[in-house]
Structure 1
Amino acid sequence: MSRFQLLSDDQWALIADLMPGPTGKKGRPFADARLMVEGIIYRYRCGIAWRDLPEAFGPWQTAWQWHKRMADDGTWDQVQSRLHEYADRAGLIDWDISVDSTIARAHQHATNVTRVKGPSSNYKNPLLEPSDHAVGRSRGGLSTKTHQLVDGRGLPLVTLVTAGQDGDSPMLIPLLEGLRVGRRTRPAAALGDKAYSSRANRAYLRRRGIETVIPEPRDQQAHRKRRGSMGGRPPKFDSAKYRGRNVIERGYCRLKQWRGLATRYDKLAIVYRAAVVLNGVIAWLNYLTDTP
């Protein structure tokens, strides 16, 4: 396998039929789908400009157009959904899910576009471009925040992107609402850090019968104790199970090995998110083809 190829034949066979193909109409010869996908992966893995894509992948404009089109129509979400269903049928998904977010600095090439300030608006439909393009000013400067639900092995199930200053807690419910593997929409447990501890989140998880493995912050503990018997009992917390939450941190380390994701160079949020989902697709392919 050359340095320009990341996907094995077995991995490509799992997703090849979901890739764009020729329509039968007369015109230019249709680009090789596998070559285009490898070019997209190479670009994000190395963090180079599209214009610097090696000639081995053909015209860089073609690779860019493929990626933009597949970001618009949700191709990579469809691919990831297929891999989720394949893994679920084989009993390979650990339904003790973890939630967290990670920040990526936005390069100046990603920010020279008009943005409307305000809360991000892509919670319900991540395939629609938000007015702020998921770029906002956080403590580290202009940045984008990636939110994910991962299974108990750290493999991504749901991905959303927002502006860097957006909080973590409000994103838990949209992430869980976006979880669907076949007919299953409810995990066994939800593991999150103190940022996800809120009355709304705990009530939502309790209503859906999802075990809550989220520590209670000190300020919330003090508030509950000040209210005495009106404050209620301390929320249940399984400290042993909480140790498994580190899988999402390891997953973000894997994601940021792609330099084009560790720093955001894309102007459009849907294009950047599609690359994050593609990184998850590669993680799932590696896991499924390596598991006997």
Structure 2
Amino acid sequence: MPHRPRLTDQQWNRIRLLLPTSNGRRGRPWSDHRRVVEAIVYRYRTGIPLRDLPSRFGSWKTVWARHRRWAGDGTWDRILGVLLANADAAGQIDWRIAVDSTINRAHQHATNTHRPESCRAAAHARGPGAHREPVGHGIGRSRGGLTTKIHHAVDGRGRPLAVVVTPGQAHDGQSLPLLLGDLRIPKTGAGRPRTTPSMLLGDKAYSSRAIRKTLKARGITAVIPERCDQQEHRRRRGSAGGRPPKFDAATYKNRNVVERSFALLKQWRGLATRFDKLAIVYRSAAVLAAVLVWARI
């Protein structure tokens, strides 16, 4: 089988110094990080079972253990935070962010776990110990059966800034606080992380009075079209209905950057279809995909 590297030297040089250097335990030291990371990427790009990994990647158990450990301790989130901090310091982040979600079918291998009827994803705050498995493993039932959603907040060039996983039936508008809560870009020096974009572009799923009020209170310009039923309700109330919300149609045309980010993400077959039982493991692969995007810059 021909060797097909999944990481360029540029990408590896950007992330290798940010990976843990010790497993914190006695015994055999960690094997080569690059081979393991390439195995993780290969597995999600191809969508194959872990046990079918080519022998050049070593033991599949090592790949799984490393991926599971880094998913639980937030390693990829910390690496993404460093890359985003450096990009922000260099002025490379367009803070006119766009938000949306994509729904993915959960394979039967991901669904043979106990899921309570009422499942709600927990917020994925960055930091050690902050990534806990949500109730129901982030899998819910929608029109497509058992599904899961990946929510993205991307900058004005379509590069992911925040990633959240929820059950498939979760409403995009109700999941927006989770997504904005995950948006924390650290400073390279002293100072608080940046959590407030200058503008937020979203489709009609985010058109609600509560969301517009929250964004206005935080000084974020909302570029969200008003739903037809909301327009009709305002007209029926007459002068008591108030003025229609401001909407910049020209700026809204750039919202498709988030759709293009999902088109790139779903080239990873292991993300387009969910095979992972644990939501934190599945989400960490989506964060890894974001890391590779920013490592190319």
TM-score by length of 1: 0.94
- Mean Cα displacement is larger for which, 5-14 or 75-84? 5-14
Match of 2:279 in 1: 269
Q: The residue matched to 2:70 in structure 1 has which SS? A: helix
Q: Following TM superposition, by how much is the alpha carbon of 1:84 offset from its aligned partner in structure 2, in angstroms?
A: 0.5
Query: What's the offset of the Cα at 1:7?
Result: 1.7
| Cα pair distance change 1:72/1:23, threshold 3 Å | closer
1:173 and 2:159 aligned: no
Supply the distance in 2 between the matched residues of 1:273 and 1:25 (Cα, whole angstroms): 26
Residue 44 (structure 1) aligned with residue 33 (structure 2)? no
Q: Is the deviation greater in 111-120 or in 100-109? A: 111-120
Q: Which runs of 5+ in 1 are unaligned?
A: none
Matches within 5 A, 1:227-242: 227-242=237-252
Asked whether 1:257 is paired with 2:259, we answer no
Which residue matches 2:19?
Answer: 19
- Match of 2:270, SS state, is helix
Cross-structure match for 2:78: 78
Please say which of residues 170-179 and 118-127 is displaced more in the overlay: 118-127
Matched, 1:210 2:220: yes
What do the CA deviations read for 1:8-55 (whole angstroms, capped 9, x no partner)? 222212211221324687522421111110100000000000000111
Contact 1:4 1:42 in 2 (8 A): no
Provide the C-alpha distance between the structure 2 equivalents of 1:162 and 1:26, rounded to a whole number of angstroms.
37
Given residue 205 of structure 1, which amino acid in structure 2 is its aligned partner? L
Contact 2:98 2:153 in 1 (8 A): yes
Call closer, same or farther: CA 1:137–1:25 in 2, change over 3 Å.
closer
Q: Is the 8 A contact 1:135 1:164 kept in 2?
A: yes
What 5-or-longer segments of structure 2 have no aligned partner?
187-192
226-235 or 19-28, which deviates more: 19-28
1:32 corresponds in structure 2 to 32
Deviations 1:231-260 (A, max 9, x none): 110000000000000000000000000000
Displacement of 1:3? 4.1
Q: Distance in 1 between matches of 2:3 and 2:249?
A: 43
Partner Cα separation in structure 2 for residue 95 and residue 140 of structure 1: 34
Q: Which string of whole-angstrom CA distances, capped at 9 and with x for unpartnered residues, describes residues 49-107 of structure 1?
A: 00001110100000000000000000110111111011101111000000000011000
Higher mean C-alpha displacement, 234-243 vs 173-182: 173-182
| 1:102 maps to 2:102 | yes
For residue 216 of structure 1, what is the amino acid of its counterpart?
Answer: E
TM-score (norm 2): 0.93
Distance of 2:117 and 2:142 partners within structure 1: 13
Identity %: 56
Cα pair 2:159 2:261 within 8 Å, conserved: yes
When structure 1 is superposed on structure 2, of 15-24 and 57-66 the one drifting more is 15-24
**How far did residue 6 of structure 1 move?**
1.9
2:200 counterpart residue number: 190
1:127 paired residue number: 131
1:140 maps to amino acid: G
- 2:151 is paired with a residue of what secondary structure? strand
Report how far residue 109 of structure 1 moved.
Answer: 0.2
1:96 to 1:25, Cα distance in 2 relative to 1, 3 A: closer
User: In structure 2, what is the equivalent of residue 149 of structure 1?
Assistant: 153
After superposition, the Cα gap between the structure-2 partners of 1:148 and 1:238, relative to the gap in structure 1 and judged at 3 Å, is: same
Q: What's the Cα RMSD here?
A: 1.5
Is 1:143–1:164's contact at 8 Å kept on the other side of the alignment? yes
Match in the other structure for 2:89: 89
Aligned partner of residue 277 in structure 1, secondary structure: helix
